[in-house]
Amino acid sequence: MEKLSIIKIGGNIIEDETSLHAFLKLFSNLEGKKILVHGGGKRATHIANKLGIESKMVNGRRITDAETLEIITMVYGGLINKNMVAKLQALQVDAIGLTGADINSIQSEKRPVKEIDFGFVGDVKKVASNSIDKLIKAGFTPVFCAITHDGKGQLLNTNADTIASTIAVGMSKTYDTSIYYCFELNGVLRDFNDKNSVVKNIDTTSYKELLDAKIITDGMIPKIDNCFDALNNGVSKVHIGNTSMLTKENDNFTTITL
């Protein structure tokens, strides 16, 4: 089975021009077929503030009212996505920028209101892996922003980590898929104050031990639960670390397997 790498980058990389350029260079040099997924929450917050629109967050998740959805569509789907595509073209990567509405690639449903009304936030229901594969087979590199749609004309703000994992699951029927979650740390750390204390391998057994020892806590728990969900649904490996894990020289990052 041919390999396919799905790389998701976080907002801190997007916000720093030097880090972004270095990442895109690494991405362009990555061998084989690949897909890039990005968010852009920090930029969206910054531009919302400039326009006098307050950003509301609950448990690290953005409440997306109609006004906020307009900003997210402009920032994720326009400003960030098209800048990234242009920079990749300069690096000889034939990138194509997409939302989940394009070629009906990712359909979601609006998150139901329970304790909190998140507004126009989507939970992914369906990935059109055959359509995405047509782009890949035609020699294009898809660059997805964190926007999906409901199939009835409504765009929805969707978590970029979830988009990366659901695309990887969808494509795993055709490819040997791996996910790379790139962020500012070297990986999952044993000691948060020691940036080199990377836990290199986590499987279901060691994950339980790390939870019991309170080494993995708070926001990292849903992230790793998502990783195991992807692995249980056909993804081969999930990697978490900084952007240098995309090079052959670096082995100081976290790999998650079953």
Handedness of CA 169, 182, 243, 8 (dihedral sign): positive
Nearest to 167 by CA among 109, 102, 106, 257: 106
Handedness of CA 31, 127, 134, 79 (dihedral sign): negative
Question: Cα separation of 72 and 64, whole Å?
Answer: 9
Residue 41 annotated as lining a ligand binding site? yes
Question: Cα separation of 60 and 62, whole Å?
Answer: 7
Question: Cα separation of 247 and 51, whole Å?
Answer: 40
The 3 state secondary structure assigned to 4-60 is EEEEEECHHHHHCHHHHHHHHHHHHHCCCEEEEEECCHHHHHHHHHHCCCCCCEECC
Residue 157 annotated as lining a ligand binding site? yes
Nearest to 5 by CA among 245, 243, 244, 179: 179
In order, the DSSP letters of 143-154 are EEESEEE-SSS-
**Phi and psi at residue 49, in whole multiples of 5°?**
-60, -45
Q: Is-contact 246 180, C-beta < 8 A?
A: yes
Residue ranges at the known binding site: 40-41, 62, 157
Residue ranges at the known binding site for substrate: 40-41, 62, 157
